[in-house]
């Protein structure tokens, strides 16, 4: 039996739907002007919860620049969650062999990552002097501790079980991360799809321990070379490869812009969360998302 989403009835009880005919009648009564009187909470706020969102910015200092840093961090968290949502939808469709349908959430994923990348522009003003005015108040708080970013990495196939340890005392968050780590990544689902489509992939690759990060395999690379050899419009696997490549590219851009933002705001100082800062970020960037999609291009 399909599990019912219990959030839907609660939302439907507060946001009253309108039909096209009702909207037309409302516009006629208003003479084309927007409705200004409501018997309850403004419908927009009921749906978006904007009044709640705008109470979540609680700076620790009196420095006006801290609000930018805090709010951009929160915007990125929302984008992390949205990107995870889209990737899970893509996985659901890939597991059902609905390759064409999976292209839509993957393309949305790439666009969300574009928005995520654009958020860095709001922090380009920050020099070390600007950051130092409130940095000490952050204590050991660091973006490294973002659970939703870690979940995004797991979905993209970047696996390191040790990185969920900071969340052990947040039992619900830890359980979500453990579940994401134990489940196949998007790339694992793509490999399973290729196997079902007749590509010669070894059983020990398809049945491997998914908690361990995937290592590039020559037979996967060969499969993509064969897929790209057919440039016809009905080759949905080739379109899938391009959609995944764009996702990987945008995610790589985010990691690079993260490194540049850190370099701009604090140079090579030790990270707030105890890491080596720039050195740690450079090392993490060496782990490639969807590796055979890139290496196969040499043989095409």
Where do the DSSP E strands lie in the chain?
none
Q: 221, 187, 208, 9: which is closest to 106 by C-alpha?
A: 187
pTM of the predicted model, to two decimals?
0.90
Residues in binding site: 135, 258
Of the candidates 285, 277, 284, 287, which has an alpha carbon nearest to the alpha carbon of residue 253? Answer: 285
More confident residue, 90 or 163: 90
Distance linking the first and last C-alpha atoms of the chain: 45
Whether 168 has a pLDDT exceeding 60, the answer reads yes
Residue 85 pLDDT greater than 90, yes or no: yes
Binding-site residues for heme sit at: 258
Is-contact 214 187, C-beta < 8 A? yes
Do 265 and 127 touch, CB atoms closer than 8 A?
yes
Least confident of 94-103, 204-213, 214-223, 266-275: 266-275
Angle, helices 236-266/278-285, rounded to nearest 10 degrees:
170
Q: To 5 degrees, how large is the angle CA 182–CA 183–CA 187?
A: 125
pLDDT tens-place string over residues 262-285 = 889 888 777 666 666 677 778 777
Per the annotation, binding residues for substrate are 135
Q: What is the mean pLDDT of the chain?
A: 90
> What's the pLDDT at 3?
44
Q: What is the pLDDT of residues 44-82, one digit of tens each?
A: 898 999 999 999 999 999 999 999 999 999 999 999 999
Q: Which domains does the chain have, with CATH numbers?
A: 66-299 (1.20.58.480)
User: Where does the pLDDT of residue 135 fall: very low under 50, low under 70, confident under 90, or very high at 90 and above?
Assistant: very high
Q: What is the DSSP letter of 41?
A: S
Percentage, residues of the chain above pLDDT 70: 93
Structure tokens at 237: 């696997």
Residues near 67 by beta carbon (within 8 Å), at least 6 away in sequence: 57, 59
């Amino acid at each position: 039996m399909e599990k019912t989403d219990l959030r839907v009835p609660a939302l439907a009880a507060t946001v009253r739907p309108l039909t096209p005919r009702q909207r037309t009648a409302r516009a006629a009564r208003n003479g084309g002007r927007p409705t200004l009187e409501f018997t309850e909470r403004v419908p927009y706020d009921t749906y978006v919860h904007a009044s709640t969102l705008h109470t979540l910015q609680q700076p620790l200092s009196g420095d006006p620049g801290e609000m930018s840093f805090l709010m951009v961090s929160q915007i990125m968290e929302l984008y992390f969650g949205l990107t995870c949502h889209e990737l899970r939808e893509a996985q659901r469709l890939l597991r059902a062999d609905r390759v064409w349908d999976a292209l839509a959430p993957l393309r949305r994923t790439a666009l969300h990552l574009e928005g995520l990348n654009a958020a860095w522009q709001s922090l380009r003003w920050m020099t070390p002097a600007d950051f130092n005015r409130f940095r000490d108040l952050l204590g050991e708080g660091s973006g490294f501790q973002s659970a939703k970013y870690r979940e995004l990495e797991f979905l993209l196939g970047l696996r390191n079980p040790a990185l969920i340890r900071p969340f052990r005392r947040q039992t619900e968050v830890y359980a979500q991360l453990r579940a994401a780590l134990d489940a196949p990544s998007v790339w694992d689902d793509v490999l399973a799809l290729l196997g079902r489509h007749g590509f010669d992939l070894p059983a020990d690759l398809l049945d491997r321990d998914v908690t361990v990060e995937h290592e590039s395999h020559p037979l996967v690379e060969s499969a993509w070379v064969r897929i790209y050899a057919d440039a016809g419009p009905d080759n949905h696997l080739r379109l899938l490869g391009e959609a995944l490549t764009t996702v990987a590219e945008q995610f790589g851009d985010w990691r690079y812009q993260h490194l540049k933002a850190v370099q701009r705001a604090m140079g090579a100082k030790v990270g707030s969360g105890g890491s080596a800062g720039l050195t740690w970020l450079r090392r993490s960037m060496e782990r490639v998302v969807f590796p055979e999609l890139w290496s196969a291009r040499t043989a095409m």
